[in-house]
């Protein structure tokens, strides 16, 4: 794998092994410049912005995935090709639970495969499950930070304008089956990241902030949401440190 | 109180912690690990014992083979007050590095069965409860035993996917072998799916009694029983850890 990867434009060992995966390019810039020590921008190509840096004296990285499983799959495949092993998606979602309000944090255990990309990899009955060591590492860091969180299954899908507060027609009806099943929230990347993680034997987890609630219609203020996003970045970066030390510990 | 339609048990007759083997014939073997085990009911493929372990009220109920009967058992156990349930059973390994007698702890399951699809569309993930998975891994480590942890596959047709199936069975299973699925069994995916929907905590611990790649099989119950005793100890210690 000495060759330069087609989309992320870097080669073997150029990106640190433990990687945060936000969707948003600007959030990758924010994490790289505000949370990492001695950070260095490595790549800026399409929706992929990559930084290396240090966190608690461990090497870490961040790479934006863009919106959706298509580009997220490209990012994790190419990062895996060049030697990355630990991945945590840090992102936002829409809550499907009346108990999860804007600004609340979710640690994801598995995802409904409502996306198209993961179906090209393996039949639909295969579970999109987060890595159990990564879940535990995230929970331990959340506990250490004194941060409350919900734990459970989310839904990943492709068509934002079918299932969001901005959607056409009766979006509440479309998501009702998942809300009734106890699915906590909706977002756009986790299911494919989890499936590829299982197939390629790399460890993938996700921690999300609810930015709105599809059932109650509640929305968060920009300041409050940013505070929660900062907490998820701190928890996820800490979890990447613990995972590299093999001390994800126990709950 | 009305008795459950199939299990013939009543709320109050079982503990919050339940071990679920497939085979009713193994319930007494598991109940040997309880203090003062009482036979509660025996109906169809469902045998239930309740007893104590380190002060906890614990039960064992067999599920019979396959997701249809396992789903009935789980639903009626939940209606009777069960909160933490572990399937304890046998499995056919799909990976070369899994030897006969090895222990497998499932994080999740491929839903290649019919029952869970009646509950929720197929894209929903059948995942074990993370607290139960963690407790099983910890209890296994504390006993200095090794386990494989990962995705398993649950299916309905034994004679399409086992070492006793027609010679082409490995071709059908290749997709799962290539996807790092550890092994094949018959109940976990419906148990995990229903567990999440009903908000109870379900896990699975298995031992490999066959390897589909090498075609080796253990048929001697005398060789399987000691592993069942070990796995029962692991389950009970996991329950004890969860309760702390």
B234 φ/ψ angles, rounded to the nearest 5 degrees: -60, -45
For tokens 């159990």, the residue is A132
| Displacement of CA B242 from its chain's centroid (Å) | 18
Burial class (CB in 10 A: 0-12, 13-18, 19+), B210: buried
pLDDT grade, residue B2 (50/70/90)?
confident
Predicted pLDDT at B166: 84
User: What are the pLDDT digits (tens) for B174-198?
Assistant: 999 999 999 999 999 999 999 999 9
Percentage with pLDDT > 70 across chain A:
98
Q: Among candidates B66, B39, B50, which has minimal Cα distance to B17?
A: B50
Q: What are the φ and ψ backbone dihedral angles of B73, each rounded to 5 degrees?
A: -60, -45
Lookup: tokens for B37: 């085990």
Q: Is A209 in contact with A232 (CB distance < 8 Å)?
A: yes
Q: Which DSSP symbol is given to B164?
A: T
pLDDT digits (tens, 9 = 90+) for B67-99: 999 999 999 999 999 999 999 999 999 999 999
Instruction: Give the mean pLDDT of A146-163.
Output: 96
B121: chain A residues, CB-CB within 8 Å: 112, 177
Task: Supply B102's token pair.
Answer: 């090895």
What Rg value do the Cα atoms of chain B yield, rounded?
17
Q: Taking CA atoms, what residue in A is nearest to B134?
A: A250
Q: Residue A182's closest chain B neighbor by CA?
A: B197
What number of other Cβ atoms are within 10 A of residue A95's Cβ? 28
CB contact under 8 A, A122 and B120: no
Helices (H) and strands (E) in chain A, counts: 7, 10
Contact A60, A97 (CB under 8 A): no
CB-CB under 8 Å, B122 with A125: yes
Integer Cα distance of A148 and B231 in angstroms: 34
Q: Which residues of B touch A (CB under 8 A)?
A: 107-112, 120-127, 130-131, 133-134, 137-138, 149-151, 175-176, 179-181, 189, 196-197, 199
Strands A185-187 and A150-157: parallel
| Burial classification of residue B119, based on how many CB atoms lie within 10 Å of its CB (0-12 exposed, 13-18 middle, 19 or more buried) | middle
Test the B interface: residue of A127, A152, A156 with most B CBs within 10 Å: A127
The pair phi, psi for residue B4, each rounded to 5°, is -65, 140
Q: What is the mean pLDDT of residues A175-185?
A: 98
Distance CA A9, CA A3 (A): 9
> Would you state the pLDDT for residue A165?
86
Select the residue from A120, A124, A125, A202 to test the B interface by mutation, using most B Cβ atoms within 10 A: A125
The model's pLDDT over A194-209, given as tens digits with 9 standing for 90+, comes to 999 999 999 999 999 9
B167 confidence band (pLDDT: 50, 70, 90) = confident
Mutate to test the interface with A, among B95, B108, B111 (most CBs of A within 10 A): B108
Residue with tokens 């007050």: B81
Percent over 90 (pLDDT), chain B:
93
Tokens of A13: 């060992």
Specify the pLDDT at position A2: 67
Residues A177, B122: C-beta atoms closer than 8 Å: no
pTM (2 decimals)? Answer: 0.94
ipTM: 0.90
What's the rounded mean pLDDT across residues A63-83?
97
The CA distance from A137 to the nearest CA of chain B, in Å, is 12
CA distance B223 to B54: 28
Which range among A44-58, A154-168, B131-145 shows the weakest confidence by mean pLDDT? A154-168
Name the strand (E) or helix (H) holding A37.
strand A37-45
Distance between CA B129 and CA B119 in Å, rounded? 18
Say which residues have a Cβ less than 8 Å from residue B77's Cβ, sequence separation at least 6: B7, B14, B18, B20, B59, B61, B85
Closest CA relative to residue B188, chosen from B100, B86, B102? B86
User: What angle in degrees, to the nearest 10, is found between the helix axes of A222-244 and A132-145?
Assistant: 120
pLDDT higher than threshold 70 for residue A1? no
Asked whether the beta carbons of residue B138 and residue A250 sit closer than 8 angstroms, the reply is yes
Counting Cα atoms < 13 Å in the Cβ hemisphere of B15 gives: 28
Q: How many CA atoms lie within 13 A of B230 on its CB side?
A: 20
Mean pLDDT, range B34-62, rounded to an integer: 98
A vs B: CB pairs below 8 A: 79
Instruction: Kindly provide the residue ranges of all beta strands, DSSP E only, lying in A169-202, ordered along the sequence.
Output: 185-187
For tokens 């614990």, name the residue: B58
From the CA of A26, how many Å to the nearest CA of chain B?
31
């Amino acid at each position: 794998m000495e060759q330069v990867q087609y989309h992320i434009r870097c080669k073997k060992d150029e990106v640190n092994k433990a990687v945060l995966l936000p969707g948003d390019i600007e959030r990758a810039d924010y994490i790289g410049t505000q949370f990492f020590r001695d950070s260095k921008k490595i790549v800026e190509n399409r929706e992929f912005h990559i930084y290396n840096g240090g966190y608690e004296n461990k090497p870490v990285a961040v790479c934006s995935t863009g919106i959706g499983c298509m580009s997220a799959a490209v990012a994790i495949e190419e990062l895996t090709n060049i030697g990355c092993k630990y991945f945590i998606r840090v992102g936002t979602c829409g809550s499907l639970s009346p108990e999860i309000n804007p600004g609340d944090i979710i640690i994801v255990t598995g995802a409904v495969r409502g996306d198209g990309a993961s179906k090209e990899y393996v039949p639909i009955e295969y579970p999109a499950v987060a890595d159990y060591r990564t879940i535990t590492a995230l929970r331990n860091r959340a506990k250490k930070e004194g941060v409350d969180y919900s734990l459970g299954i989310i839904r990943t899908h492709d068509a934002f304008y079918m299932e969001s507060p901005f959607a056409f027609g009766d979006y509440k009806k479309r998501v009702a089956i998942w809300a009734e099943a106890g699915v906590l929230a909706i977002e756009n990347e986790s299911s494919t990241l989890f499936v590829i993680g299982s197939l390629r034997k790399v460890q993938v987890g996700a921690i999300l902030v609810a930015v709105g609630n599809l059932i109650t219609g509640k929305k968060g203020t920009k300041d409050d949401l940013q505070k929660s996003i900062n907490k998820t970045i701190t928890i996820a970066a800490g979890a990447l440190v613990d995972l590299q030390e093999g001390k994800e510990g126990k709950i | 109180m009305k008795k459950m339609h199939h299990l013939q048990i009543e709320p109050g007759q079982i503990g919050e912690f339940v071990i679920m083997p497939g085979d009713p014939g193994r319930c007494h073997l598991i109940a040997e690990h309880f203090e003062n085990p009482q036979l509660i009911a025996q109906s169809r493929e469902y045998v239930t014992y309740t007893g104590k372990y380190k002060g906890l009220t614990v039960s064992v109920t067999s599920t019979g083979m396959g997701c249809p009967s396992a789903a009935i058992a789980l639903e009626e156990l939940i209606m009777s007050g069960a909160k933490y349930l572990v399937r304890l059973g046998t499995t056919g390994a799909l990976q070369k590095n899994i030897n006969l007698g090895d222990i497998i702890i499932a994080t999740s399951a491929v839903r290649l069965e019919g029952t869970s699809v009646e509950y929720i569309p197929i894209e929903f993930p059948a995942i074990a409860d993370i607290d139960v998975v963690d407790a099983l891994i910890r209890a296994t480590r504390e006993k200095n035993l090794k386990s494989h942890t990962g995705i398993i596959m649950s299916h309905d047709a034994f004679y399409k996917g086992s070492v006793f199936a027609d010679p082409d069975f490995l071709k059908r299973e290749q997709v799962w072998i290539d996807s790092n699925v550890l092994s094949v069994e018959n109940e976990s995916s419906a148990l995990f799916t229903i567990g999440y929907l009903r908000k109870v905590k379900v896990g699975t611990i298995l031992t490999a009694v066959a390897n589909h790649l090498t075609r080796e099989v253990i048929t001697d119950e005398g060789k399987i029983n000691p592993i069942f005793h070990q796995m029962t100890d692991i389950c009970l210690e996991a329950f004890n850890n969860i309760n702390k």
